[in-house]
């Protein structure tokens, strides 16, 4: 509750002959995914409750059902959520379908400058249409696909010697995707401490978004583009370019030659489990897992290292994750929800958010001279957020994602057809979606 509201409430109470302002407080429900950062947000939000008088409730849903549950809630005009930390892909639908409150006037009135946030997170989490100053969320949680590796294994003299003999170079953080594949293959089936280990845990999950969130880290770096940069929704030759096909072939080869048996449907949690249990030398995963890795008794405390997604022939990019926080248009408590946004945007709150394990997108936090040394993975987070690309954020993103999931999984995991055929088919699928929307 703002100071102005507190004064107003006090005056009203005196007029009514009451000494209590409790009636002015609201119970707010914030909806997000059920994962470690959500627990950190509960802790952080206690400060808001103390300062505002509002009481926070939370609706956290597992990632596997988060989109279905929350998009159904929005599409039905439900009033469960006052605040929504929705995926970056939801911003187009949230804006065009009227699910999210446009925040421009609120930002202007409260001195919230989007130039103070990491540019990629503003574009990815807040803007619609992309590239325009129309904001429907405040960047809430910066996230990106990166890599974790068993630094303690890499540093063993006998392993270093074996790798040097096999590849003619030192074993270290890979600069390119091909070097990463070499390392993963090197560890594939190797015995360490009496246990057979494998190369890399990568995303292959079929049901939600996993294989897409994984394969794009190769596709982008081999030349895949979502559309013609000069002509929106012009897909032919960009989605299915020769380079894009090579990138998809690379990802399938990595899966075929350097991943654990039975990893045909893995996403975030399966990769975490494989890494923490000592099954793999490398793990692809979103940056949100890194605090948990550091705290883990088996792989933390200096046993693990972190690096950004390596470069490919067409450049160095990484798949953006993360979310913005929006006020739900169907909420009857929008003023109180906006109070939360204003509180959350404060630099001191954002600094505390990072300390608790949240990934702040505020430049004052991440550009602080002490940030890079504040955690073993902090520099990797900065480097990774500088190279991000994201999936479509169109209102039809779910149909676009479903098609890509099917095409990629059928090729990468099931081995059906060729990479070129998979991407040619994806062009057909996406063209139909955009034709149905009247955009082409």
Return the CATH number at 41: 3.40.190.10
pLDDT in tens, 202-224: 999 999 999 999 999 999 999 99
Residue 1 pLDDT > 80, yes or no? Answer: no
- Does residue 136 sit in the same domain as residue 151? no
Distance CA 400, CA 423 (A): 13
- What pLDDT does 20 receive? 27
Q: What is the mean pLDDT of residues 108-121?
A: 98
For 63, 337, 342, the CA distances from 329, given in Å and listed in that order, are 23, 11, 17
pLDDT of residue 136: 98
Q: What is the pLDDT of residues 384-422, one digit of tens each?
A: 999 999 999 999 999 999 999 999 999 999 999 999 999
76, 79, 84, 89: CA torsion to nearest 10: 10
With a cut of 80, say whether residue 13 has pLDDT above it. no
**What burial letters (b/e) apply to 101-122, b meaning 16+ CB within 10 Å?**
bbbeebbeeeebebebbbebbb
| pLDDT of 307 over the 90 cut | yes
Whether 396 is in a domain gets the answer: no
152 plus 131 within the same structural domain: no
Check residue 64 and give its pLDDT. Answer: 84
C-alpha distances in Å from residue 46, one per residue of 39, 54, 83, 140, 285 = 12, 10, 16, 17, 29
- Answer yes or no: do 169 and 310 share one domain: yes
Q: Based on the domain organization, do 249 and 338 belong to the same domain? A: no
Burial 206-235 (b: 16+ CB within 10 A, else e): bebbbbbbbbbbbbbbbbbbbbeeeeebbb
286, 319, 352 - which closes a domain: 319
pLDDT at 176 over 70: yes
Give residue 3's pLDDT.
Answer: 37
Do residues 150 and 96 both lie within one domain?
no
pLDDT band at 10 (very low <50, low <70, confident <90, very high): very low
Same domain, residue pair 338 and 288: no
* pTM for this entry: 0.93
Does position 12 have pLDDT exceeding 60, yes or no? Answer: no
> Is residue 414 assigned to a domain?
no
Q: How far apart are CA 438 and CA 154, in angstroms?
A: 53
In a domain, 405, yes or no: no
Longest dimension (CA), the chain: 86
Which residue's entry shows tokens 């190797």? 190
Residue 304 lies in a domain: yes
Here the tokens at position 54 are: 């509002």
Domain end: 372, 389, 406, which one? 389
Mean pLDDT of 29-45: 97
Domain count, the chain: 2
Note the pLDDT of residue 2: 36
Range from 18-22, 138-142, 190-194 carrying the lowest mean pLDDT: 18-22
Q: Say if residue 266 is in the same domain as residue 191.
A: yes
pLDDT in tens, 46-79: 999 999 999 999 999 998 899 999 999 999 999 9
Check residue 208 and give its pLDDT. 92
**Percent residues over pLDDT 90 in the chain:** 94
Instruction: Say whether both 309 and 350 belong to one domain.
Output: no
Give yes or no: residues 334 and 294 share one domain.
no
Q: What would the mean pLDDT of 268-283 be, rounded to a whole number? A: 98
For the cut 50, the answer to whether the pLDDT of residue 16 exceeds it is no
Say yes or no to pLDDT of 201 above 50: yes
Confidence band of 14 (pLDDT split at 50, 70, 90): very low
pLDDT value of residue 365: 98
169 belongs to a structural domain = yes
- Enter the tokens of residue 329: 């248009």
What DSSP string runs through 66-114? HHHHHHHHHHTT--S-SEEEEEGGGHHHHHHTT-B---HHHHHHTT--G
- Do 96 and 217 share a domain, yes or no? no
What is the distance between the alpha carbons of residues 359 and 61, in angstroms, rounded to a whole number? Answer: 19
pLDDT at 356 over 50: yes
> 198-201 and 83-87: which strand pairing?
unpaired
Burial class (CB in 10 A: 0-12, 13-18, 19+), 187: buried
Q: Residue 24: its pLDDT value, please?
A: 79
Please indicate, yes or no, if residue 72 is contained in any of the structural domains.
Answer: yes
Q: Give the range of the structural domain holding residue 92, as residue numbers without chain letter.
A: 27-143+322-389
**Is residue 11 over pLDDT 70?**
no
Residue 408 lies in a domain: no
Structural domain ending residue among the three candidates 319, 347, 373: 319
Residues 204 and 280 both lie in one domain: yes
297 and 251, same domain (yes or no): yes
> Can you tell me the mean pLDDT for 95-121?
98
| Contacts of 129 by beta carbon, 8 Å cutoff, 6+ apart | 92
- Give the model confidence (pLDDT) of 134-168 as tens digits: 999 999 999 999 999 999 999 999 999 999 999 99
Answer whether residue 9 shows pLDDT above 60: no
Per-residue pLDDT tens for 309-319? Answer: 999 999 999 99
Whether 427 is covered by a domain: the verdict is: no
- Are the C-beta atoms of residues 128 and 134 closer than 8 Å to each other? yes
């Amino acid at each position: 509750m703002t100071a102005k509201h507190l004064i107003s409430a006090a005056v009203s109470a005196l007029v009514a002959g009451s000494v209590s302002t409790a009636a002015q407080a609201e119970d707010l429900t914030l909806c997000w995914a059920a994962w470690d950062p959500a627990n950190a947000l509960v802790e952080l939000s206690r400060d808001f409750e103390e300062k505002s008088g509002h009481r926070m409730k939370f609706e956290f849903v597992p990632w596997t059902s988060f989109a279905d549950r929350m998009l159904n809630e929005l599409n039905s005009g439900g009033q469960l959520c006052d605040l929504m930390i929705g995926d970056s892909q939801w911003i187009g639908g949230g804006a065009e379908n009227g699910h999210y409150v446009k925040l421009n006037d609120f930002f202007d009135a409260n001195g919230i400058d989007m130039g103070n946030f990491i540019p990629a997170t503003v574009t990815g989490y807040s803007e619609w249409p992309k590239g325009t100053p129309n904001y429907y969320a405040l960047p809430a949680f910066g996230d990106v696909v990166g890599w974790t590796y068993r630094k303690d294994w890499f540093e063993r003299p006998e392993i270093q010697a074996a790798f040097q003999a096999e590849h003619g170079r030192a074993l270290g953080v890979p600069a390119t995707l091909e070097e990463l594949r070499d390392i993963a293959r090197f560890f594939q089936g190797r015995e360490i401490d009496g246990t057979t280990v494998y190369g890399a845990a990568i995303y292959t999950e079929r049901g939600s978004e996993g294989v897409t969130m994984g394969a794009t880290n190769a596709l982008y770096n081999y030349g895949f583009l979502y559309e013609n940069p000069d002509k929106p929704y012009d897909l032919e030759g960009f989605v299915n370019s020769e380079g894009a096909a090579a990138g998809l072939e690379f990802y399938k080869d990595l899966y075929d030659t350097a991943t654990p048996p039975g990893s045909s449907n893995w996403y975030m949690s399966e990769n975490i489990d494989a890494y923490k249990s000592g099954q793999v030398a490398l793990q692809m995963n979103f940056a949100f897992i890194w605090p948990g890795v550091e705290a883990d008794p088996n792989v933390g405390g200096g046993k693990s290292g972190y690096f950004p997604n390596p470069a490919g022939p067409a450049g160095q990019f990484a798949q953006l994750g993360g979310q913005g926080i929006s006020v739900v248009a169907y909420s009857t408590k929008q003023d109180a929800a906006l109070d939360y946004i204003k509180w959350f945007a404060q630099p001191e709150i954002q600094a505390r958010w990072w300390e608790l394990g949240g990934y702040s997108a505020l430049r004052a936090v991440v550009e602080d001279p002490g940030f890079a040394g504040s955690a073993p993975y902090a520099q990797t987070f900065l480097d990774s957020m500088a190279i991000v690309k994201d999936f479509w954020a169109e209102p039809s993103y779910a149909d676009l994602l479903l098609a890509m999931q099917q095409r990629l999984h059928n090729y990468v995991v099931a081995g059906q057809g060729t990479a070129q055929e998979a991407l040619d088919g994806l062009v057909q699928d996406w063209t139909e979606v955009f034709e149905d929307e009247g955009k082409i």
